[in-house]
Structure 1
Amino acid sequence: MNAMAALRQYQTVNTQAQAVDASPHRLIQMLMEGGLTRMAQARGALERGQVALKGELIGKAIAIVGGLREGLNLEAGGELALNLDRLYDYMTTRLLEANRENDPAKLDEVAGLLRNIKSGWDEIAPQV
């Protein structure tokens, strides 16, 4: 096993261990962090002309946004949950367009939206 593969394996195990012990609030933060990371990595792959990797990473970002969307409680969450549902749907559409059109501006747009959502989420104190 080369050093990079070992590092990736360590990161996977470390992330899994964090997820087991994480509160629901922290799990959402981890999803958002993962989405932002995948979008940044996809942008880098796009700039390097690594089309297949770009597509894989955008696919992972789409899955993360989908996970955030699935976590919404539309019945109890009221208008905020409905607005987030629509925003996550928009973000998914823009990520698909970014992938199809090789458009880094659309990746940046979605990353900015997710950063704004994450900033608000980070301000919410976890309820124990």
Structure 2
Amino acid sequence: MYSNSPHGYGSTQNNYQQYQDTDLAIQTAAATPHQLVLMLFNGLMDELVRARSHIAAKRFEKKVTSINKCIDILNALTSALDYERGGDLSLQLAGLYDYCVYRLYDASDKLSVELLDEVAVILGNIRGGWEGMGTQHG
């Protein structure tokens, strides 16, 4: 009735995941482009923390999944840049996102939490800039 698991936890976990997915869909539908970028950054930063913990705990398959999610989010951020209106800033951000992607590949290959930390600092600074833009326009 609840799940195939002997403890019946599977259904509860699936329901919680469905709730989270629905909540995210509602937030996304109502978000401005600026808020969407911040949502991507928040997800990216959360996933970097997960990747770091997977490396530290030697959960290598989960590490690969987390690193790939980070790279997918960085690619989404790159594709969302407006090069016409953003000019040099958009080009600089694209370069930083590319650099972070390469560092993530290195971190994954070398199992390096230090490289993940470097990426987290760079992206944390960029996210801070986006957050600052939101307070100016809000």
Shorter-chain-normalised TM-score: which range?
over 0.9
Number of aligned residue pairs: give it: 128
List alignment gaps of at least 5 residues for structure 2. Answer: 4-9
- 1:107-118 → structure 2 map (5 Å cutoff): 107-118=116-127
Q: Which residue of 2 aligns with 1:119?
A: 128
Larger Rg: 2
Report the alpha carbon displacement of residue 118 of structure 1 after superposing the two structures with TM: 0.6
Which deviates more, 4-13 or 109-118?
A: 4-13
Q: Which residue of 1 aligns with 2:87?
A: 78
Q: Which residue of 1 aligns with 2:28?
A: 19
Report the alpha carbon displacement of residue 119 of structure 1 after superposing the two structures with TM: 0.5
Report the residue type matching 1:102 in the other structure: L
Q: TM-score, normalised by structure 1?
A: 0.93
Q: 1:41 aligns with which of 30, 39, 50?
A: 50
Moved over 3 A (4+): none
Q: Which residue of 2 aligns with 1:93?
A: 102
Q: Which residue of 2 aligns with 1:31?
A: 40
Report the alpha carbon displacement of residue 87 of structure 1 after superposing the two structures with TM: 0.5
Report the residue type matching 2:50 in the other structure: Q
Counterpart Cα distance in 2 of 1:14 and 1:5 = 14
1:7 aligns with 2:16: yes
Q: Which residue of 2 aligns with 1:63?
A: 72
Q: Report Cα offsets for 1:101-126 as digits up to 9, x if no partner.
A: 11111111111111100111001137
Q: Which residue of 1 aligns with 2:7?
A: none
Counterpart Cα distance in 1 of 2:78 and 2:59 = 28
Q: Which has the higher contact order (CA 8 A, sep 6+)?
A: 1
Counterpart Cα distance in 1 of 2:110 and 2:80 = 29
Counterpart Cα distance in 1 of 2:131 and 2:18 = 28
List alignment gaps of at least 5 residues for structure 1. Answer: none
Counterpart Cα distance in 1 of 2:21 and 2:56 = 26
Report the residue type matching 1:56 in the other structure: T
Counterpart Cα distance in 2 of 1:125 and 1:100 = 36
